[in-house]
Amino acid sequence: MDLKDCRVLVTPTSFGRGDPRLWDELRAAVGEVIENPHPRPLTSAEVRALLPGVHGYIAGLDVIDADALADAGDLQVIARYGIGTERVDLDTARARGITVTNTPGANASAVAELTLGFMIALSRKMVSAHDRLKGGEWSRVNGTSLEGKTLGLVGFGAIARKTALFARPLGMHIVAYDPFVTAEAMRAQDVTPSDLDGLLAASDIVSLHLPVTPETRSLVDGRFIAHMKRGAYLINTARGDLIDDAALVAGLDDGQVGGAALDAFTHEPPPPDSPLIAHPQVIVTPHIAGNSDSASNTMGRMAVDECLAVLRGDVPRFRVV
């Protein structure tokens, strides 16, 4: 298909923010570029309304279910800006002949950096100290050092490996659980392999680095929390659906979990009365882990390349289905 006959929908809110040339290059390559009319990820109904007549779709964290694709008769490719595809109905895409791609590794450093920041903020009680001083209270709170502590990585993909690389110079012992990564591959990066229960029992900080699947949804439940070292911290820079919110609140309330830092939530944005958002032992950010200048530029470049490759009839590098 001639690219000049193609219409491409672009919805990620940070696309081209650090490098406006991505917009210019995409507009020069195809017939029409349609921008996200809302400053947020789109609902299924909003996606459905925009897809008729669209051939390529560079997608953010939109809901792309069967209903969203119902009128997408011309759609050839969904190029996910990021790695997660849990919001894309892959079975429906496959049945309709729609190629789905992603951008693996593009934001690994950015997410690992925020994970490290969360580790320091939790252990040194930075947010609490900041709030107290801003409120006029001079309270020199006691924190804990990361040196000599154990970091448990649940999942050992690109982001977890980068997190291990950043944490090692701090003098931390690092253990990891991932049934799809060999023990030899972990040891090669000076990481100790473990089963999940062993990791939870040993770790002072538990950091989640998993996709959402039927097996991992609500992985952090009452049982998971009960197996954690008492007072350990929990970090989630992956996906909100990995956590049973009620179980985490209960664990925080009884002190089993010493604190949590969350960048992703089951519902985004979370409701204002969310007990997690209000909890004094929780640090929250609005799903910004991958939103650094370099990560956005790399994800944008990869997503554009994948989208255009499929529209030209070439084989994409990072095909999911």
Q: Determine whether 287 is an active site residue.
A: yes
Beta carbons of 59 and 88 less than 8 angstroms apart = yes
Closest CA to 320 of 91, 158, 159: 91
Q: How far apart are CA 276 and CA 98, in angstroms?
A: 38
- Residue whose token pair is 């969360």: 118
CA distances from 280 to 125, 198, 277, 312 (A): 11, 28, 8, 52
Q: Determine whether 268 is an active site residue.
A: yes
Which of these is catalytic: 130, 268, 312, 317? 268
Q: Determine whether 239 is an active site residue.
A: yes
Residue 260, φ and ψ in degrees, nearest 5: -140, 150
Which of these is catalytic: 48, 55, 80, 239? 239
Closest CA to 321 of 310, 305, 313: 310
Beta carbons of 235 and 206 less than 8 angstroms apart = yes
Q: Which residues are catalytic?
A: 239, 268, 287
